[in-house]
Amino acid sequence: MRTAAAIVLTAMPEEAEPFLAKARATRRVGELTTPSTFRAWFLELASPRILLVQSGIGQTAAASALTWALGQVSTRDVFFSGTAGGLHPSVEVGDIIIGSTYRYGMADATAFDYEFGQVPGQPPEFTCSPRVLDIVEQLENDRVTTGLMLSSDSFVTAKNVDAVRQAFPTALSTDMESVAAAQVCHAFGTQFAAVRAVSDLCGPAADQDFHMALDEAAVLAAETTLEIISVLRGGGTPGRRRRQFGLDALFAALFAVVAIDNGLEPVDATDLNLDLSDLSRDLHDEQVRSFAELIAAGKQFVADNPSARITSQRYDTLRAEILEDLNLVGGRGRQTWPPTSQTIMKRFDGYWNNAMTAIGLTGGSGRRRGGLRYSDEDYREAIRLYHEAMSAERRNPSYSGYQQWLSSQDKPYPSGASIRQHFGTWADAILSLYSEN
């Protein structure tokens, strides 16, 4: 049996086309003969090749095509790449959803004591590849989010969206194939992940954009899928590199947000002494000059008020407002300036307090580093308590969510970076909870 770097399923031709176009540009594309109406190609986009399958729409089409594909190649990883309907009120068109868990949206065997959404004889939900989730935690893309993904043979529209949201309040998206593919992978013991870009909203608010072109959304999903596969195979990002901000750009973002948070007026930036060239990749020259004066005001405020404080949560709130004002919300798959608090923390060993100290703020209330040593039980207690808190709120645990939870605790616990280092990956930390049972 031939080996493949991954099997990638798509439902529609528009969802397969970004993969085919990329392969045709510089590499050979070989179409396979299939026993049904679905189509399949070998693409030299990774080593070994990727098996791309266009299954057709619906759960039966996806399940049958994937079963055939798993008989053609040996692989560790299966992806479903395509578009989806945005279900959760927080989801916007252009967001990229990667399912951390998968459930059937309309399956009802509750009369026989099964959970709503559970097929008899199957687990209540199927899970994403832990290796993929670990990579997702590291992606420099503000539009990517993970969570519960639903599938059904019925469309979710404004007429029935409230009932679906009531049954699955944390569900982010809905489609017609992902969960069937997840069930097949569960049966075969193969790792699975669905990567879906939101092209439509199931129940949009009055002020929300509710539609994006199918081919545009498909490109977003395909790019993210290929990026993850590239990392899984030990390579860099395919076709583009993750954006790296210089330290001066990070300092500039912090000073700008400090200025906004304190309602400061812009000041002369002649002696700012910061390299703002990174800002020019997102902003016009006039915008850069305006921000320079705001950054200068924030820098002076920090020098005069070293005991001031701004939290990472407050920073991200004000950052979102800046992006909205600049019409750069989400960046359409790009990492834009100002960067997220997570991006800043990654450059300072995973600690927000380190970033605060770097710009001259000494009034942080967080625990000091180096003064505490944690036992294995401390790490497990931190993960267990955080997981319980998320379960009570019916939210999925995540690295960024842990960092936010940590800031609200009276007792000191290991940082998110320390958790990762102790367990190996964030996904392994979560999985450790299940290995104890």
3-state secondary structure 250-285: HHHHHHHHHHHHCCCCCCCCCCCCCCCHHHHHCCCH
pLDDT for 363 equals 54
Q: Do 130 and 57 sit in the same domain of this protein?
A: yes
Domain boundary among 177, 202, 232: 232
pLDDT for 211 equals 78
Q: Do 163 and 267 sit in the same domain of this protein?
A: no
As averages over each run of 10 residues, the pLDDT of the chain (437 residues) reads 91 96 83 93 89 96 97 94 91 92 92 91 94 85 88 83 89 95 96 95 60 90 94 60 72 95 93 87 83 95 92 89 71 65 77 87 52 72 87 76 79 77 72 64
Q: Give me the catalytic one of 14, 134, 200, 282.
A: 200
Decide if 427 is inside a domain: yes
Q: In angstroms, rounded to a whole number, what is the distance separating the alpha carbons of residues 81 and 300?
A: 48
Domain boundary among 179, 208, 232: 232
- Report the run of H or E that residue 186 belongs to, with start and end: helix 178-188
Q: Do 173 and 210 sit in the same domain of this protein?
A: yes
Does residue 369 contact residue 280 with C-beta atoms inside 8 Å?
Answer: no
The domain of 410 spans 376-435
Inter-CA distances, 377 with 194, 195, 369, Å: 34, 35, 19
Paired tokens of 430: 């979560």
* Active site annotation includes 393: no
Q: Do 216 and 186 sit in the same domain of this protein?
A: yes
Evaluate the CA torsion angle 416, 421, 426, 431 in order and state its sign: negative
Amino acid at 271: D
pLDDT for 369 equals 40
Tell me the sheet residues that pair with 51. Answer: 7, 42
Q: Is 194 left (phi over 0), alpha (psi -120 to 50) or beta?
A: beta
Decide if 369 is inside a domain: no
Paired tokens of 278: 């990174």
* Active site annotation includes 207: no
Amino acid at 350: G
Long-range contacts of 106-113 (CB under 8 A, 24+ apart): 106/152, 106/153, 106/154
Q: Do 227 and 251 sit in the same domain of this protein?
A: no
Q: Give me the catalytic one of 15, 140, 142, 293.
A: 15
Q: Do 97 and 205 sit in the same domain of this protein?
A: yes
pLDDT for 237 equals 44
Which residue do the tokens 């703020």 mark? 361
Q: Do 273 and 341 sit in the same domain of this protein?
A: yes
Q: Do 220 and 270 sit in the same domain of this protein?
A: no
Does residue 284 contact residue 328 with C-beta atoms inside 8 Å?
Answer: no
pLDDT for 244 equals 65
Burial of 106 (0-12, 13-18, 19+ CB in 10 A): middle
Decide if 253 is inside a domain: yes
Q: In angstroms, rounded to a whole number, what is the distance separating the alpha carbons of residues 41 and 28?
A: 10
Q: In angstroms, rounded to a whole number, what is the distance separating the alpha carbons of residues 72 and 50?
A: 12
Q: Do 275 and 402 sit in the same domain of this protein?
A: no
DSSP 211: B
Decide if 371 is inside a domain: no
Read off the CATH number of the domain in which 39 is found.
3.40.50.1580
Tally of domains within the chain: 3
Q: Do 223 and 306 sit in the same domain of this protein?
A: no
Decide if 241 is inside a domain: no
